[in-house]
Amino acid sequence: MDTVNSLPVVIIGGGPVGLAAAAHLAVRRQPFLLFERGAMVGANIQSWQHVRVFSPWRFNIDKAARQLLEANGWRAPDDEAIPTGKELYDFYFKPLSEVSEIRPSIHLNSSVIAAGRKGLDKVINNRREQLPFVIQVRQNGQTQFHEARAVIDASGTWLSPNPIGSGGIYADGELQNFEKIFYGIPDIQNLHKNRYKNKSVLVVGGGHSAINSILALNDIKDEFPETEIHWVLRKDNLKKVYGGQENDALPARGALGVRIEQLVNDNRVNVYTPFYIQQIVNEKNRLSIVGHQNNQFYVLPGIDEIICNTGSRPDFSFLREIRLNIDHAIESVANIAELIDPNVHSCGTVRAHGEAELRQPEKDFYIVGSKSYGRAPTFLMATGYEQVRSVVAGLVGDWEAARRVELELPETGVCSTDFGEACCGVSPEAKTSACCA
């Protein structure tokens, strides 16, 4: 038992919540290993570095991370400023990864491909909780094995986007036309402008990322008037998409609903709702979208490019030998499913939760961050920070701290379907993209 307890805690994922877990372990002087599949920490955030988040810095910095950074001479950004993804990386994630208490334990280009108990498959009970975890990692082309006393899976959902097809499955022809589909948040106004200018572009999705894409397309439409914007979503009421607007406690996100409603009213975007896509047909290098609108067969022809903003889902494939309790519908940690159900809750109405709710049948194994929310889009970074604070407290036996709630959030408006990392939109002040973090 003592040998197992001397082993490190393994953290899977070097995004915001994985780094926060590392900070809490470092503050409590616990050994850990962090495996990030990308070439840098916060690698997924690099794909939306042009995006500005809805929430100010004070909600985006973990307490333990701040403690370590300030001890190393870091100067905090303005608490009320609203950062971009690039600023989050430059001024927070990168400096945090370089502090001496964390840097030696970070392993980049390291994909976790399997996890389990040493010498036991999932079926076997014998002495299970007394054995260490074994983590199989593919690092720089080599396979390595690491033992751990506990595992914190903060791998997120970003790399598992939902398909375009209705019913959560790929539409017929979706994979065959992969080169014409962007899954994520393209930098429409800069890096990807040539891809979309003067094109007929279809945006699929009913959340803040979709609104973000439409607003960015509208901006280039002013410069390139032949740009056509089409919007397919499954919601039957656009009012649900517009969200809290003036009543949203995060003004940048509230303004998002106001702007998109104005564009729709001004006929700047062609809206098809409720629309269920079943097939994508390539005809002379232009796409026809086949499906049903208002229960009627419908074909939308002449599409050059598709932006898929339909949310994301967790990947449990490498956890096949771990005993998990996952909600059958949301695919979240089962014990928090009712707390985060997007049919009921928005970002700001999710009650704080921690180690007790995140506990799995596999002792000392925790899923945290956006992955703990499964398909629910109501995740906030601050919620993930509170999760790992509580989990780490439990792992070191500080049960009073583990049970204590230390999360304060504003009451926010509607947070609709989006990527697993955050709820995305546009900041009217900066005329740039935005995400609620």
Domain ranges of the chain: 2-159+312-423, 166-310
How far apart (Å, rounded) are the C-alpha atoms in residues 199 and 186? 15
pTM (2 d.p.) = 0.89
Are 2-159+312-423 and 166-310 in the same CATH fold? yes
User: How many H helices and E strands in the chain?
Assistant: 14, 19
Of 362, 360, 364, 311, whose CA–CA distance to 333 is shortest?
A: 360
Q: Which residue has the tokens 């372990």?
A: 25
3-class DSSP state for residue 114? Answer: strand
DSSP 37-93: SSSSTTHHHHTTTTEEESS-GGGTS-HHHHHHHHHTT--PPPTT---BHHHHIIIII
What is the pLDDT tens value at each position of the chain, 437 positions in all? 468 889 999 999 999 999 999 999 999 999 999 999 999 999 999 889 998 887 889 999 999 999 999 999 999 999 999 999 999 999 999 999 999 999 999 999 999 999 999 999 999 999 999 999 999 999 988 999 999 999 999 999 999 999 999 988 999 999 999 999 999 999 999 999 999 999 999 999 988 888 889 999 999 999 999 999 999 998 877 766 666 554 455 555 656 777 888 888 899 999 999 999 999 999 999 999 999 998 899 999 999 999 999 999 999 999 999 999 999 999 999 999 998 887 775 555 567 799 999 999 999 999 999 999 999 888 889 999 999 999 999 999 999 999 998 886 655 433 333 433 333 333 333 333 333 34
User: CB count, 10 Å around CB of 265?
Assistant: 8
pLDDT of residue 270: 95
Phi then psi dihedrals of residue 372, to 5 deg: -65, -25
Q: Which CATH class is domain 166-310?
A: alpha beta
pLDDT of residue 2: 64
Give the 3-state secondary structure of 250-290. CHHHHHHHHHHHHHHHCCCCEEECCEEEEEEEEECCEEEEE
CB contact set of 111 (below 8 Å; sequence gap of 6+) = 35, 37, 137, 138, 139
How far apart (Å, rounded) are the C-alpha atoms in residues 54 and 85? 11
Where residue 397 falls (left for φ over 0; alpha for ψ -120 to 50; beta otherwise) is left
How far apart (Å, rounded) are the C-alpha atoms in residues 83 and 93? 12
CATH code of the domain occupying 2-159+312-423:
3.50.50.60
